[in-house]
Amino acid sequence: MANLSITGETTLTGVFGWPVKHSLSPVFQNAAFHFYNLNWVYIPFEVKPEHLKVALDAIRIFSIKGVNITIPHKKEVVKHLDDMDEEVRILGVANTIVNENGLLKGYTTDGMGFLRSLKEDGNFSPKEKLVFLFGAGGSAFAIAGSLVRNDVSGILICNRTIEKAYSLKEHLKRNFRFENVEVIPFEKRNDNEIWKKVDLIVNTTSVGMKEEDIALIESKNLNEEVFVYDIVYNRETALISAAKQKNIRCLNGLSMLVFQGAVSFTLWTKMAAPVKEMKKALFEFIKKA
């Protein structure tokens, strides 16, 4: 990619987080701007929690077109938005902001990014499928909601803290009137009977980010008909490794990361995101790293 030329006409976008220097988003977002020859730039902004409100005011002051929001600000940021889409109202978290003439509107792209990734990269439709979902945090809420909207037959939720799993079950019942949800205690996650009908496995937890992390699923419970999706992207997790060894279809979090970015790109620019170019830039960057 050619060197960026920053001028007084350059449109600013970026990501707010703490820490955020490690973010991969600038790699593919700037590649997308370059593809369309847009005079835009995407910058990581390290924003301490106590400075979040001031940083959001700066979006208006400096006419920043939009930002992504990452850890630890996704929940707190909602308090300071002027408007938000239905998904943010339901979930209480936002990871993308669009500056509309000084009004800050919040969106969450987790669910949309996941579904596009699953369908376009995984060539897998979740319609009428049974899903085993690990986790009950913000990403799990968004992904579960998107799966319900895409007519899954049922969801099995498994989380270390079982109370959070029940909270997600209640959320799906209350907001989507979706009843076919079962909570699986974490210690019973490898019971053989569970895995006979599962079509899609989704890990939304951080398990797998470290080499010493436990294996979520025993290899014997992974069959060739299932699809495995692990949103961890900093390394190949034991779950993804086991899937590959058994020639099972799978995706890691890099795919979701790009498609989340693609949704943000379109929200800011009103243009279709050049996903192919974004992926190419990201994978070339990772190869060199």
pLDDT digits (tens, 9 = 90+) for 250-271: 999 999 999 999 999 999 999 9
State how far the Cα of 2 lies from the Cα of 5, in Å rounded to an integer.
9
pLDDT value at 2 more than 80: no
pLDDT confidence of residue 5: 80
Enumerate residues 6+ apart whose C-beta is below 8 A from 273.
32, 261, 262, 263, 265, 266
> Counting Cβ atoms within 10 Å, is residue 60 exposed (0-12), middle (13-18) or buried (19+)?
middle
As annotated, the residues of the chain forming the CATH 3.40.50.720 domain(s) are 125-248
Catalytic residues: 74
Give the CATH architecture of domain 125-248.
3-Layer(aba) Sandwich (3.40)
pLDDT digits (tens, 9 = 90+) for 144-189: 999 999 999 999 999 999 999 999 999 999 999 999 999 999 999 9
pLDDT digits (tens, 9 = 90+) for 35-84: 999 999 999 999 999 999 999 999 999 999 999 999 899 999 999 999 99
pLDDT confidence of residue 209: 84
pLDDT confidence of residue 7: 87
pLDDT confidence of residue 219: 92
As annotated, the residues of the chain forming the CATH 3.40.50.10860 domain(s) are 11-109+255-288
Cβ neighbours around 3 below 10 Å, total: 6
**What is the dotted CATH code of the domain comprising 11-109+255-288?**
3.40.50.10860
Q: What is the pTM of this model?
A: 0.92
E strands of 147-199, at which residues?
Answer: 154-159, 181-185
pLDDT value at 3 more than 80: no
pLDDT confidence of residue 4: 67
pLDDT value at 230 more than 60: yes
Give mean pLDDT, residues 212-226.
91
